[in-house]
Amino acid sequence: MDLVLLTEEIVKSLVENEEAVSVKEFSTEDENVILIQVMVAEEDMGRVIGKGGKCANALRTLVQASSSLKGNKYVKIDIDKF
């Protein structure tokens, strides 16, 4: 599964306003790093980050594990609001 699609599916399952979710991949200077930017509505930030960052860390772990199956690139996920 594509890392962006995987990230989008996970984030959409966490939020109330699924239409406001935007997930994009950006290139970085290091070819072994993938940057994924997640944008959500302001009221959904707490759901995506979770208490103490647990949801955000779990999201990063799942996406990184999927990446290791497909080329072993390091994945950075940036979560922000509209």
What type of residue is 59?
A: L
**74-81 and 22-26 beta bridge pairing:** unpaired
27 alpha carbon, distance to own chain's centre? 15
For 3, other C-beta atoms within 10 Å of its C-beta total 19
Q: Which CATH superfamily is domain 3-81 in?
A: K homology (KH) domain (3.30.300.20)
Q: What pTM value is reported for the model? A: 0.89
pLDDT for res 68: 86
Domain spans in the chain, listed from the N-terminal domain onward: 3-81
Rounded to an integer, what distance in angstroms lies between the CA atom of residue 42 and that of residue 63? 23
pLDDT in tens, 22-61: 999 998 898 889 999 999 999 999 999 999 999 999 999 9
pLDDT for res 78: 95
Among the listed residues 67, 13, 70, the one whose alpha carbon sits nearest the alpha carbon of residue 36: 67
For 62, other C-beta atoms within 10 Å of its C-beta total 14
